[in-house]
Amino acid sequence: MAKNSTSSITVPDTAWLGRGSHLGPEPEQDVRRNLIALKAAGVLDDFLDLDPAEAARSSVLHPRDESADPGLSARRLFEARWRVADDVTVRAQLTTYDPEGRRKDGDGVSWVLAAEAERVWDPHWPSPATMFWPDSDRVPWDHDTVSGVRLRAANHLPKDDDELRHRLRDWTRESWYVHVVVHEAMTPDARGQEPVTSFLPPSLRHRVIEHRGTPEQAQIVDFAMKRELKLRMPRGGAVILPTAPQDPGYDADRFTVRSVFLDGSEPVELLDRVKEFMALPRPLTADAERALTRLRQGWHLLTPDEELEHARSMVGRYAEALEAMTTSRDLYREAAEAAQAALAESGTGDLVSRLPLPGLAKPDGSPLTALTKAFGRFRDPNK
């Protein structure tokens, strides 16, 4: 999959975007089981399981639109529709991809998820990720494609200084997620080892990756962050990493928390800073923009009302095409009759008999066949 590139366009406030890697043996089967279970439970209105190539050709809203094509490496396309806040419809697409090059043992299957609601996204709505993926630690769908760290875990920072700096660059430049680095003032107990991101509202929980620095890593982490990002890492505190290029609304002091207690209690100050950071406008990367465009332009899962409206639209378009063909036939008949009259007056009567007249079908043709072919051309926007 292509790397991100910067954009002046920001992520719409109605959208939820995610990307990751599933390291298990049957990612699509995990998705199917979850979708079936949620539909049976009444959580989902409906879902579709599609072959990507066929889905691109059969897009209901924009047939043969290149923006509906998920790419050659796409394995499967899933669509789901559900409602939140009683009457707000959410539409989402999950596409799975083969890894670049030949797949090796341990390589994951990449996925891209784009969801959009009919109004501004509420952080307390259910996470679109858990509409497709089971929210179980036994299903390894939540690895970041950039560095392999997990969403639902407290990931320990690399001990090597060079590797740490390389990771910091990747997290700020290429990852779709918000990255939070927490330093442990002392080794926490079992409750303190649980990720603090689990306290976030559902729709934010799967957009944040938490990293932990051990007590002895204080100077290494501080040096690496100062050199790479011009940030300081407070001992026993936390820093929310900026995106690159840095958003004008990012204030290093504002998004640095001096003290975080890792005792299993809710770190209110850190969570408030994370929510504030995630409310800032975020640049829409090129591949994220493509995913959102596919969702909007390549949608298949229509509601009954949308199907009725689509059918009415198609009837109107067919009527316009039939009227255009009738007008064209009448004009051709008039032109042919005028040409016959002119040839008759000029005395070239032998040519008159060769001129085809409209309405005289060939032995193997029929008006129905002609109409069917015309509608076939009308369906294909290239003709």
Give the pTM.
0.78
pLDDT of residue 102: 47
Residues 91-101, mean pLDDT to the nearest whole number: 88
332 shares a domain with 216: no
Q: Which of 297, 332, 360 is the last residue of a domain?
A: 297
Q: Tell whether 324 is covered by a domain.
A: yes
Q: Which residue type is seen at 334?
A: E
Token pair for residue 195?
Answer: 């990720």
347 shares a domain with 250: no
108 shares a domain with 32: yes
347 shares a domain with 284: no
Q: Which of 233, 267, 297 is the last residue of a domain?
A: 297
Which pLDDT tens digit goes with each residue over 164-203?
999 999 999 999 999 999 999 999 999 999 999 999 999 9
Which pLDDT tens digit goes with each residue over 120-162?
999 999 999 999 999 998 999 999 998 879 999 999 999 999 9
Structural domain including 51 reads 15-297
346 shares a domain with 291: no
Q: Which residue type is seen at 355?
A: L
104 shares a domain with 225: yes
Q: What are the backbone angles phi and psi of residue 86, rounded to the nearest 5°?
A: 75, -45
115 shares a domain with 259: yes
- Please count the structural domains in the chain: 2
Lowest mean pLDDT among 61-65, 110-114, 135-139: 61-65
Percent of the chain with pLDDT over 90: 63
210 shares a domain with 347: no
Q: Tell whether 9 is covered by a domain.
A: no
Q: Which of 58-62, 113-117, 174-178 has the highest mean pLDDT?
A: 113-117
pLDDT of residue 363: 47
In contact, 151 and 20? CB cutoff 8 Å: yes
96 shares a domain with 171: yes
Residue 245 CB neighbours (<10 A)? 10
Give the C-alpha separation, 82 to 278, whole Å: 24
pLDDT tops 90 at residue 69:
no
Residue 302 Cα distances to 21, 118, 119, 354, angstroms: 28, 14, 18, 52
318 shares a domain with 284: no
Pick left, alpha or beta for residue 347 (phi over 0 → left; psi -120 to 50 → alpha; otherwise beta).
Answer: left
363 shares a domain with 236: no
Identify the CA nearest to 75 among candidates 39, 29, 42: 29
